[in-house]
Structure 1
Amino acid sequence: MRRWMAWTIGVALVVAAWGVLQITPSQDDAEAPFPLAAEIGETASARGFVMNVTDVRLASRAVAGGWSAEGTWLVVDLRAEATQEETGTILAHAELTIDGVTYRASERPASLLRTGLTPGIPREGSLAFELPSELARDTATLELGIGDDPRLDSLVTLNLDLGTLEAEGEVELLETGWAER
């Protein structure tokens, strides 16, 4: 074999290996959740649950029953129900991502977080996210799901423009309960 041909084949193989490396998904990509985009007021059906975010409010004080707290609060009102299983379907994943930083729904107020969902009987309530005040005007992505570990599962996602929300002085979280049909 001629020397120039060996070099050409060698370079071609290195380029092909680089190309394979570029198109091979990473471990994170291989285990990524399946996002289902939704809008406020729109029902989204995911694996095991149905979700409808009915309202998003921004306030400097959040109130839930006898609990209250000052700060910058994003309150998300929603309805959710299970679609497959009677037990074990829990709203466990509620995260808000702003500028690459993720905030989990607060566990301090009584809310829909970690509430069991039942097929055919929707639950309604709120989730509360405590945010730094300087982020209250950015865009955010809300992710909602039924598993603590969302890998290889479906998530309902909403893109929110927090800058369009009018800040209220006080917002009361909806009482968690059975929704009316």
Structure 2
Amino acid sequence: MKKRIPIMLLTTLLASLNLAHAEDEAKKPSNFISVKQISMELAMDIAHESVLACREKGYNVAAVVVDRNASVQALLRDTMAARFTMQIAEEKANAVIMSGASSAEFRANRADIKDEMNEVDGILMLEGGLKIESGGSLLGAIGVSGAPGGEKDAECAKAALDKLMERLEMMD
């Protein structure tokens, strides 16, 4: 005659085995790193809001959002912005990714190598690039170019990030 194990006992036994396995797994070093990524939609919205913020002030600009690896994720150029603004905006964003600081901070902090860094392909140490962060994690960067002065480019990028802050915070 077969003995039957009561379902409560079986459930308790399985739960304790799962718990022991989970504890063993927690003690092992992880082979994976959790990385937050900015979505395509959010990247496009940040670029769009940056262009609109500058347009409201009468500036025709380009805005480029790069991910944490400096790969372009969104690029928008206002109708009358010069085609070179796209390259300049991307290179400002790349400077942010390389340095971990806004392009203005990077330029100020490393004035000693500013000229040399501007010779590096894909990097431009001009004001107008800002970090895109969520919960202390670097998601990417926004670069804006075309306003009469890098500080004005940075203001447009900041206006976009401020407007979309709630969506960025929801990524935590």
Scaled to the shorter chain, the TM-score interval is under 0.3
Higher RCO by CA contacts (8 Å cutoff, separation 6 or greater): 1
TM-score by length of 2: 0.27
Q: Which structure is higher in strand share?
A: 1
TM-score by length of 1: 0.26
Q: Which structure is higher in helix share?
A: 2
